[in-house]
Amino acid sequence: MQNSFILRMPSAEVEKIAPSAFSEHVNSNGLKPREVFTEEHQDLVKKGEKWMKDTANSCMVVATLIATFTFAAAFTAPGGFNQDSGFPIFLRDKLFFLFIVSDALSLFSSTTSVLMFLSIYTSRYAEEDFLESLPKRLIIGLSTLFFSIATMMVTFCATLFLILNKQYSWVAIPITFLAGVPVTLFVFLQFPLFLDMVSSTYGPGLFKRPKETLAY
């Protein structure tokens, strides 16, 4: 849960439970509560920036690889092309349609994921960005990355069935089940982070106590 605290650190989180009148008070140094909070938590901003960049960089590498593979697969039709017409040999096969659609979805989602992680990496990392802007980008990036991995596996399975045909389906079926391992592994490793990000961004926050219960 350390990352959740880093991302919810802006003083707006504290302002949710503090009486609004206190926000304009100044201390002996002439600083308002928000200014004191910012000064005392500068290290959290640096830690949050480092963690965000490391996470975005790692995920961006995976998304870039997927985008590269799926882009190449779009122009390498399984079974080859008809020498006379130039159209793919399996053009009229339903599995070929599944191959094209899943490959396109994987390409578009991985490209979107790359752009989201790139926007995180090049963000200004202002204090207020950690409250909603950066977590939302990370949520979108992780969602599209998961979708691109899943559709890439569908593309692989469709290609496998097209090439092996019905005669060798006994080989394609167990391989198809194995294709679900990377998707399951990604969910197992990244889903807790995804839930933490969603809860941190759209949940009630770190402090559940409402303002009305505080005494002046």
From first to last of its 216 residues, the chain has per-residue pLDDT tens of: 444 444 444 445 555 555 565 555 665 666 656 666 666 667 777 788 888 889 899 889 999 999 999 999 888 888 777 777 777 787 778 888 899 999 999 999 999 999 999 999 888 887 777 777 888 999 999 999 999 999 999 998 888 888 887 666 677 778 778 878 888 888 788 888 888 878 777 766 555 544 444 444
Q: Tell me the residue type at 190.
A: Q
β-bridge mates for residue 88, sequence order: 81
**Who contacts 146 (Cβ-Cβ below 8 Å, separation ≥6)?**
183, 186, 187, 190
What is the 8-class DSSP label of residue 168? G
Q: Tell me the residue type at 58.
A: S
Is residue 35 classed exposed, middle or buried when 0-12, 13-18 and 19+ CB atoms within 10 A define those classes? middle
What is the value of pTM for the model shown? 0.74
Query: Could you tell me where the DSSP H helices lie in the chain?
Result: 2-7, 11-15, 33-40, 42-74, 94-121, 133-164, 169-202
